[in-house]
Amino acid sequence: MTNARYFSGFLLVLLGLGSFTAQPLPQDWRTPFERDSTWSAEWKEAYAYLDRLDEVSDRISIRTFGESDGFLPLREVVISSPEVTTPQEARARNKVVLLINNAIHPGESAGVDACLMLAREMALEDRWQEVLEDMVIVMIPYYNLDGGYARRPHTRANQQGPAMQGFRGNGKNLDLNRDFIKCDSRNARSFTELFHYWDPDLFVDTHTSNGADYQATITVIATQPDKLPSGLKAYQQELLLPALYKGMEEKHWTMTPYVHTDGPPESGIHGFLDLPRYSTGYAALFQTLGFMPETHMLKPFSQRVYSTKAFLETICETAMRQKTDLLEARANARREVLATSIWPLQWQLDTSRVDSIWFGGYAHGYRPSAVSGLPRLFYDRDQPFYQQIPYYPAYTPILSAERPWGWIIPQAWTSIMERLAWNDIRMHRIVGDTLLRAPALRIISEETSDRPYEGHYLHAQVDVAEEMDTLLVRDGDVWIPADQPGIAYLMATMDPRAPDSWFAWNFLDAILNQKEYFSAYVFEDLADQMLNSDPELRRLFDHQRTLEPQWKTDPNAALEWIYRHSEYYEPTHRRYPIVRIMEPTGFRLRPYQGTSPRD
Ligand SMILES: [Zn+2]
């Protein structure tokens, strides 16, 4: 806030509205939710409330950091004391930075209302002074603004309130919690830049869950620990998470791991593999510990708000107490990723590792459905239980890759470069045309979803072959060294086999089409000449004939095989254009200054 604003705040203090500690809350400062516990603040109400806080408190500063696809302003609310407005100041004061994101799913808006109350308490109450000296809290009060604009009473069929519920899709009907890598939305681009601006140590993305019924009002997804550098994993699992569960217990909110299960919860809860497309999986690529508190849809809205607020308070109190351990674990993690040479690309649940956790559930059963007449599932709230259930926390890598020395992206693929730049990836332009021997990847096969998913037809089960090839590197092509802090992000996006790679998300689909063909009646004679003049080709051809029964009936099939084994077949068909360079190579480089090489 400005000094002028501070002065108006000072006047309020003189008028007796200041110094709110241990005084009853003046009516004036009630949030929309506190006035009506079935009401979740609209984004405009939330912004207006925070602006009022900004006017009277010198602990808050507010900035517009981007916009939604529907061109609504995305805001950040920065809370600290003494006031800090930049990450440089935060680092200089050795503060923990916590980023809180709300209403990525605007029907799950408990975090919006929790953050308004928390922002007020932090802005006006002395009891937060100690925390705010050690921390900077950056809140995004409302992330999916377009979905918030589309509020209706009936958006969430199976949720207890609030009275008006925002919609999951944004202005382009995208689920923003799948958009952190592909960044199809302006929201995600804005978030990406804000994320790297602050480089938060901790990240919380507030949600409300669907699924089974159970006793807990709030559950939590902590980022999948096996994906973290070992020291950071140890810190999260051994210090931070136990303190969060304990802190919530002390506030009388028993919290359990997110109930991610194939059957009723008693059959066992699985850890959640938060791929980089999800908020916490994305954060983990930059060694930021991420949490998704998920409040339960069938609990009253007010309980969801207060339990979310308790979670946010707990993570702040814990981060303050554990500040040294947290900052040290993160600094060590940054060193660890730079020294890591083998990177997992794909993961699977490790069913051989099972823990047990205490879980408060409800007995379930089946009875005939009044609608279909078929058996239907029900949970009996009159039969609560508290028992140990299996918990499968671990994921194991099923495919890994060696870290290269760097990558070359041909300059034409600008949409990838844009995203790398938003993610603070260091890039350079190569000077001069160069012929290079390098291991190129060829896409042998992939499975493509037959229905669109978030505006894409995702590829999975990608199989590649590696072959040494002579490649033309052009002046202006982009060199990306692997030796940089964003290495985990690079490994997760550059290898086509990774589930959230550029290839998986269709950024490189054009390579899958062959552009040149042959006319069979002309190529016949050429093919015959080639077989006659190349005994090795003839031998391979004769062998292949025994394996391909359709050659007997389809005259073009054999021609196609010869074409593909000839110099005429285009070398770029299905060749993955991003090249990994495994050994130091002396390119001459100039700075990368934008997607055009002439920039
Ligand atoms: Zn959600």
pLDDT digits (tens, 9 = 90+) for 271-296: 999 999 999 999 999 999 999 999 99
Q: Which residue has the tokens 């997992």?
A: 344
Structure confidence at residue 263 as a pLDDT band (50, 70, 90): confident
Three-class DSSP category at 111: helix
Query: Is pLDDT above 80 for 201?
Result: yes
Q: Is the pLDDT of residue 16 over 60?
A: no
**Domains recognised in the chain with CATH numbers:** 3-339 (3.40.630.10), 397-514+572-591 (no CATH), 520-564 (no CATH)
What pTM was estimated for this model as a whole?
A: 0.93
What distance in Å separates the CA atoms of residue 360 and residue 73, rounded to the nearest whole number?
42
Two structure tokens written together for 562 = 């010869």
Ligand 1 center from residue 210 Cα (angstroms): 9
**Amino acid symbol at 427:** M
Residue 208 Cα to ligand 1 midpoint, Å, equals: 5
What's the pLDDT tens digit per position in 340-387? 999 999 999 999 999 999 999 999 999 999 999 999 999 999 999 999
Q: How far is the CA of 526 from the centre of ligand 1 (A)?
A: 60
Give 108 Cα–ligand 1 centroid separation in angstroms.
6
d(CA 335, CA 303): 41
Question: Does the CA dihedral 31-32-37-40 come out positive or negative?
Answer: negative
Q: Lowest-pLDDT range, 23-27, 72-76, 225-229, 252-256? A: 23-27
598 CA → ligand 1 middle, Å: 43
Ligand 1: distance of its center to the CA of 102 in Å? 10
What 3-state DSSP class applies to 285? coil
In whole angstroms, give the CA distance from residue 71 to residue 61: 22
Residues with CB under 5 A from ligand 1 (ion): 105, 108, 207
Q: Which pairing describes strands 375-392 and 355-368: parallel, antiparallel, or unpaired? A: antiparallel
Q: How far is the CA of 193 from the centre of ligand 1 (A)?
A: 22
* pLDDT of 23 strictly over 60: no
Model pLDDT, residue 28: 86
Rounded average pLDDT over 85-99:
96
Å from CA of 394 to ligand 1 middle: 23
Please report the pLDDT score of residue 262 as a whole number: 86
Euclidean distance between CA atoms 237 and 334, whole angstroms: 18
CB contact at 8 A, 563 and 519: no
Instruction: Give residue 441's Cα distance to chain centre.
Output: 27
Distance 105 CA to ligand 1 centre (A): 5
